[in-house]
């Protein structure tokens, strides 16, 4: 592309930031406009339920610093209201519009709301943004009573562990039989023991029947007939893709933005999608489009989406990562690789490592405090889930090839196994939008 061309990125999280970085890395010298609905520049979102909530770091310390000169126009605190894909225009509040030559959608997800919960009560919060974390801290400071978190997924468990780190009484409510039960009996049992050891209370196989808001506390009557009194309640029951602004845009927005394997949005020639909102077929797994809500996927898909946009739909390569993620819970480390959620059966691969099997095929693995064993099983899944050869055109050597260096990968972006190297991402020699004469 050349001066006068414009790429608009909607979504100022890690996926949007890494997309902008990759565009500059590939030599794009046109205009980049980065639109974000939060008032802050990109930051380490995993810190929201950990270091930010405990006060271990201040919000400014959570900022993600770009590793190249971005030279972008920031439109923060601005929510996109509508996309006209035919006219290549993103509409903003107040009747403003942004034309684009290329668009990257990276709007992520919103926390799911719990029907019947008193969301008007400032002590009932979700936990997604820095502002959410600060609001929870204010609620905690107003009372020394117990804290309740509803949801037994990863963020709910991280929050419960953070509360015990702060010395606060906490109860975790979940409708599953055990916390993180989706990762198998072994990991659920190990985490349950950690919670018990640190004196975090669990109310599993139950839900909230009634809410009672008083001047000083929030009461919760559970379906197991238990009654809890809390100074603060955090809702952590999953998320929904941020796609409302895309209604009527001719893009398919069923549980995310439907994409081709190359991350090009179906229904548009010049729109790619990255991060949690992208629903694409990972051909390493199968041809079924799915979303992946992991921090590393935001990093890698942001870069891949930028590459696809520069190459054009006809030359773009499929995005075929081996998903991986990790989290610290108390003093233990949870690591996952592949797609454990697709498993129909589980097997014990080694002590502390659970394998997930679908149709006789190992599809994922999860380890509880077993980093060395997970090195082996990550390599094994790389072998068992290879990238289909026909989907990649022959790579074109280019002096613009830029590896992902240690300076690029912030602590939450580094591979969940430090011994696993991050491969360089090839850059194309020529890009359709470069508008440089061939030869």
**Is pLDDT at 432 greater than 50 in this prediction?**
no
Can you give the pLDDT at residue 143? 85
Cα–Cα distance list, 48 to 174, 179, 196, 333 (Å): 21, 20, 24, 18
User: Which domains does the chain carry?
Assistant: 6-111+240-323 (3.50.50.60), 124-237 (3.50.50.60), 331-384 (no CATH)
Can you give the pLDDT at residue 428? 33
CA distance 169 to 144: 9
CA 315 to chain centre: 27
- What does the pLDDT look like over 265-311, one tens digit per residue? 998 889 999 999 999 999 999 999 999 999 999 999 999 999 999 99
**Is pLDDT at 370 greater than 70 in this prediction?**
yes
**Is pLDDT at 140 greater than 80 in this prediction?**
yes
- What does the pLDDT look like over 44-68, one tens digit per residue? 998 888 888 988 888 888 899 998 9
Can you give the pLDDT at residue 436? 29
- What does the pLDDT look like over 4-45, one tens digit per residue? 699 999 999 999 999 999 999 999 999 999 999 999 999 999
Q: What is the mean pLDDT of residues 334-343?
A: 94
- What does the pLDDT look like over 227-250, one tens digit per residue? 999 999 999 999 999 999 999 898
**Is pLDDT at 416 greater than 70 in this prediction?**
no
Rounded to the nearest integer, the mean pLDDT of the chain is 87
pLDDT band, very low/low/confident/very high, at 437 (cuts 50, 70, 90): very low
For 246, list phi and psi in degrees, rounded to 5: -95, 0
The CA-based angle 2-97-11, given to 5 degrees, is: 75
Can you give the pLDDT at residue 26? 94
- What does the pLDDT look like over 164-219, one tens digit per residue? 999 999 999 999 999 999 998 999 999 999 999 999 999 999 999 999 998 888 99
């Amino acid at each position: 592309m050349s001066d006068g061309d414009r790429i608009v990125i909607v979504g100022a999280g890690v996926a949007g930031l890494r997309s902008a970085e990759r565009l500059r890395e590939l030599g794009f010298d046109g205009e980049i406009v980065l639109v974000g609905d939060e008032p802050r520049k990109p930051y380490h979102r995993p810190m929201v339920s950990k270091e930010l909530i405990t006060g271990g770091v201040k919000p400014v310390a959570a900022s993600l610093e770009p590793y190249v000169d971005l030279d972008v126009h920031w439109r923060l605190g601005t929510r996109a209201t509508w996309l006209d894909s035919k006219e290549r225009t993103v509409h903003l509040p107040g009747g403003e519009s942004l034309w684009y030559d290329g668009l990257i959608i990276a709007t992520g997800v919103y926390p799911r709301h719990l029907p019947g919960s008193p969301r008007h009560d400032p002590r009932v919060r979700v936990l997604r943004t820095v502002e959410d974390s600060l609001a929870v801290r204010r609620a905690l400071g107003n009372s020394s009573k117990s804290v309740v978190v509803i949801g037994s997924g990863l963020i709910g468990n991280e929050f419960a562990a953070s509360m015990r780190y702060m010395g606060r009484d906490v109860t975790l409510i979940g409708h599953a039989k055990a916390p993180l039960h989706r990762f198998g009996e072994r990991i659920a049992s190990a985490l349950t023991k950690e919670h018990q050891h640190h004196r975090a209370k669990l109310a599993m196989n139950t839900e909230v029947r009634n809410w009672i808001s008083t001047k000083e506390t929030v009461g919760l009557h559970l379906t197991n007939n238990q009654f809890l009194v809390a100074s603060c309640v955090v809702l952590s029951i999953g998320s929904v893709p941020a796609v409302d602004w895309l209604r009527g845009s001719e893009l398919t927005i069923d549980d995310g933005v439907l994409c081709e394997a190359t991350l090009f949005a179906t229904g548009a020639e010049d729109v790619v999608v990255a991060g949690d909102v992208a629903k694409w077929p990972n051909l390493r797994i199968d041809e079924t489009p799915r979303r992946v809500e992991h921090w590393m996927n935001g990093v890698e898909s942001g870069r891949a989406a930028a590459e696809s946009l520069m190459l054009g739909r006809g030359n773009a390569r499929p995005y075929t990562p081996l998903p991986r993620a990790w989290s610290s819970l108390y003093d233990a480390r949870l690591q996952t690789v592949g797609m454990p959620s697709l498993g129909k059966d589980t097997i014990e691969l080694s002590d502390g490592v659970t394998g997930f099997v679908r149709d006789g095929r190992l599809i994922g693995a999860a380890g509880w405090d077993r980093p060395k064993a997970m090195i082996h099983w990550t390599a094994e899944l790389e072998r068992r889930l290879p990238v289909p050869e026909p989907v990649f055109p022959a790579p074109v050597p280019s002096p613009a090839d830029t590896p992902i260096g240690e300076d690029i990968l912030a602590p939450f972006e580094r591979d969940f196994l430090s011994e696993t190297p991050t491969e360089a991402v090839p850059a194309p020699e020529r890009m359709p939008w470069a508008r440089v004469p061939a030869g």
